[in-house]
Chain A
Amino acid sequence: MDLERLLATWRGPLVGLLAAWGARPSEAHELAEDVFAQAWLARTRFDGDPADERRVGAWLRGIARNLFLAAQRERRRGASATRPDEARVDPPCEPDGRLGALRAALDELEPELREALYVRYVEGTSLAAVAALLGIGERAAEGRLYRGRQLLKEHIERSMGQREVRR
C-alpha cells in the first residue's frame, strides 16, 4: 500500500465526508489525518486488494466513522485535551451572498445528498471513488449528486428571489 497514492485519492473525499457529518473544517482535517495515520499503521490487517477502491473506501469510511463518533463523545464530555493542531483556525465565513446562501442550502440538504456532494466536490473526486466511500453503487451516487444539485439550485433561486423582494 502506497501512502502517497492513498492520500492523493482519498484526502479530499474523506475531509468532505467528515465535514458532511458535521465536523468543522479544521476538525475534519485533523480527523482525516487521524484516519490516514490509523489506516497506515493498521495496513497489514487490511485483507483486500489495495487497488480495489470499493474495499479501501469501505475500510477508510469505517475508520473515519469510529474516529468521528469518538471525537463527538469526547466533545460531549468536554474532556478533550488541547492538541497542537487546534491552533489551526477555520477559514473566515464568506459574507452573505450567493456562496453563503449555497453553504446554508448545503446544510439543509438530506444527509445522504450532502455526503455525496461534499465527497465529490471538495477536490473533484471521481464518481467511482464517491460511490466507494459512500458504500453505494455508481448509479446511486450519480442519482444523489444529481438530486442534490437540483435541490440546491431550487433553494438558491428561492433564497435569492426573497432577498431581491426584501430590497
Chain B
Amino acid sequence: MSAEERAEALIDERELAAALRGLVPDPEAFRAGVERRIRAAREAQAAGDEREVRAADGVWWRRAAAWLPGELVPGSLAATGAKLSWKALPGLLVLPALTFAMLVMPLFVALGTLTGSGARAQQREAAVRSWWHEHKGVALWVLALIGLLFLRQPASAGVALLLCSTAVLALLLARLRAAGFARRAEVGRRCAHLLMALAFWMAVFGGPWRTLFPDERAARLAFSALALGGVVCAWVALREDYGSLWRLLTRSNGEDAALLLTLALLAPWSASLLWGSFADERDLDDQARHVEALSPEGFDGWDHARKATVWLRNEGVEPELARLRSYWRERRSDDDGTAGLLAAGIELGFVGSEELAALAADARPLLREEGPIQGASLRERADLLALVRAGGLGEEERDVLARRLLASREAGAQPWRIQRFATVVALLDELGRTGLAGELRTEAHALLRECWVPPRLVTGRSSGFIARPWHPDSQAFVPHTHDAIDLMLRFGVPDGIDLVAVLRGLERDGRHGARTGPELGWEASLALAKLERGLLPEPGPLGLVSANRVLLAILVLAGFCIAATLRAPREPRTASPSGGTT
C-alpha cells in the first residue's frame, strides 16, 4: 500500500476538526472566564468564605486520605478532594484507633519478662499484662482485619500496621509512664529494639517489604529512617545509664551488650544486604550507562543490548557505544558463531553501509520465495534485517516481504510467539507497511490476553505474560512480559490487563536477582522503565503521597520513637501503692 493509499484509509484531519468545531473555545471569552474564576477565588479567600467548596479546599483532606488505607476512604474522596464532614473522621480513623499490635506487644512482653527480676520487674510486667488484658480482644480483631487487608492491598495494610504500631507504642508508653516505669533509658531501649528489628526484617525479607515502596529510593530512605531512629534512641538510652563509652564497654549487661552488637554489626550488615539486592535501573541515564558497559554473550545478551539501545534512542538518549562497537568487531573478527551477533550489529548500526549492501544482495533469494520465514524470533535473521535496513527495495518487493512477514506470525515455536509477533510488526513498520501492522491490533490484543498471567492473591505469584500458558498456575516470564509491553506500546492496552499488576510482577522478579539472574533482573528493569514511561500515567501529587504512604508511616514511627525517648523523664518516678505516681 502506498503512502497515498494509506492516507485514504484514514479519516481526513479536516473532517475531524470540523466535527469537533463546536468544542473550539473562543480565546478571549475563555481567558475572561479563567480570570473571573481566579478573581472570585481570591476574593473568597480574602473574605474567609468557605461556602464555595472546590477541590482546592479539600487539600488537607486529600492529604489525610492519602495516609489512610484506601479501603476506608469514601470512593471519590481522594480523587475529587471534596469536603468531608468532620463527623466522618472517627469512622475513618476507626482502624488505627482500635489498633493493638503484633509488632510491639510481643516485643514488650518478651523483653519485659526477660529483663530484670524482683518486685519492680514484676510490677512492670503486671502493668504491661493488664494493658494487654484490657485490649487483647480488639487487638486480635485488628490483626485479623489487617491480615485480610494484606491479601487485597499490601501497601495499605503496611500503612495500617505501622500506624497501629505507633499508636500501640504511644498507648503502652503512656501506661508505663503512668505506672512510673517509663524513664528515658528504658523507653529509648525499647524504641531502639523496635526500630532495629524492623530495619533488620526489612533487609532480610526484602521482597515483601520492598513491594510496599514505589522505588528503591523510598526503600532506602525507609531503612535509613528506621536504622537512624534506632541508633538515636539507643545512644540516648545508653548515654543515660552509662555516661561514657568506656563505662558502657566495660560494665554493660547482657541486654545492652546485645543492643550494642546490633548497632555495631547488624545495622551495617542489614544495609549492605539491602543495598546489594537492588538491581533497579529505571532511570534513562542508568540504562545508558549499563548499555555502555556491556560485554554481551550469546543471543540473549546481544538481544538485550539491542532492545535497550533501540528504546533509549526512541526516548531521545544516545548511549556512547564505542566500547560496545569495538567489542562487537572483536567478536565478529573472531568469527563468533553466536546466533544474532550479526543481526544485532545491523540493528545497532555497527555494520557499515557497504557490508550491509553486500549482505542485502546475498539475502535477495528471500524475495523469490513465499510463505513464512524460518527463525525463532526473526530478529536473529541477519539476512532479513539486512534486506529491510539496506533500503532500495521496490514496492513489489516490499509487498512480498510484508506477505512473508505476515505469514510468519504463527509459524515459529511457542516460546517466541510474542517476540515474533512484535518483530513482525516492527519490521512491517520499517518496510513502510504501517497500515498492515495497524490491522494486527485485534490479533495482538487477543494474543496478549491469551498470554496474560493475572495476579494470584493467595499464592502471590508474579503477574505478567508468558507465551506458553499451559496450565492455570503458569508463572509470568520476564522476557515475555517485556515483549508484551513492546506490543502494548504499539497497540495500546487490551481490556482486562492490569498494568499495575504487571508493574508489581516486574518489580518482584527484577529485584530477586538471586532467583532470576542478573540478566533477567536487568531486562525487568528495562521493561519497567518502558512501562512507566510509555504506558502508566505519571502520578500526581496525591498519587505520589499515596505511593509513598508506607515510607511516611515509617517516618512517623521513627520520629515518634525519637520524640518519645527524648521526652521521657530522666529519673524514675516512684509508683504509689494505688498505681498512681508521686
CA distance A116 to B54 in the complex (A): 28
Given A112-B492, A150-B438: A40 in contact with B34 (beta carbons within 8 A): yes
Cβ of A1: which chain B residues have Cβ within 8 Å of it? none
Identify which of B75-83, B296-304, B321-329, B452-460 touches chain A.
B75-83
Q: Which residues between 15 and 33 of chain B lie within 8 Å of chain A, taking CB atoms? A: 15-25, 27, 30-31, 33
Instruction: Say what secondary structure dominates the interface of chain A.
Output: helix
> Are B34 and A15 interface neighbours, CB within 8 A?
no
Q: Are A137 and B18 in contact (CB under 8 A)?
A: no
Is B11 in contact with A30, judged by CB distance below 8 angstroms?
A: no
Tell whether, in the assembled complex, residue A62 and residue B25 are in contact, meaning their CB atoms are under 8 Å apart.
Answer: no
The reply to whether the CB of B175 lies closer than 8 angstroms to some CB of chain A is: no
- Alpha-carbon separation in the docked complex, A33 to B54 (Å): 13
| Smallest CB separation, B40 vs chain A (Å) | 8
B55 touches A66 (CB 8 A): yes
Residue from B535, B540, B542 with most neighbouring chain A CB atoms (10 Å): B540
A40 contacts across to B, CB distance below 8 A: 34, 38
Q: Interface on chain B toward A: helix, strand, loop, or mixed SS?
A: helix
Q: Cβ of B9 < 8 Å from any Cβ of A?
A: yes
| Cross-chain contact of B538 among A36, A45, A54, A146 (Cβ < 8 A) | A54
- Classify chain A: how many residues form its interface, as a range: 35 or more
Residue in chain A with minimal CB distance to B56: A38
Given known pairs A37-B34, A121-B16, A140-B534, the reply for A91 and B22 (CB within 8 Å) is: yes
Measured between C-beta atoms, what is the minimum distance from A102 to chain B in Å? 4
- For B22, the chain A residues whose CB sits under 8 A away are 25, 90-91
CA distance A63 to B19 in the complex (A): 27
- Distance from B569 Cβ to chain A, minimum over Cβ atoms (Å): 41
Contact across chains for B79 and A66 when beta carbons are under 8 A apart = yes
Partner of B25, one of A12, A45, A118, A153: A12
Chain B residues in the interface with A (C-beta under 8 A): 9-11, 13, 15-25, 27, 30-31, 33-34, 37-38, 41-42, 54-56, 76, 79-82, 314-315, 434-435, 438, 441, 489-493, 533-538, 540-543
Q: Which residues of A contact B (CB under 8 A)?
A: 3, 7-8, 11-12, 15-16, 19, 25, 28-30, 32-34, 36-38, 40-42, 45, 54-55, 58-59, 61-63, 65-67, 69-70, 73, 85, 90-91, 98-99, 102-103, 106, 110, 112-113, 117-118, 121-124, 134-137, 139-140, 143-144, 146-147, 149-150, 152-153, 156
> What are 23 A-B contacts defined by CB distance under 8 Å?
A15-B23, A37-B37, A40-B34, A40-B38, A55-B538, A58-B540, A61-B537, A61-B540, A65-B79, A66-B79, A70-B82, A91-B21, A98-B15, A99-B15, A102-B15, A106-B19, A122-B17, A135-B536, A136-B535, A140-B534, A147-B492, A149-B11, A150-B438
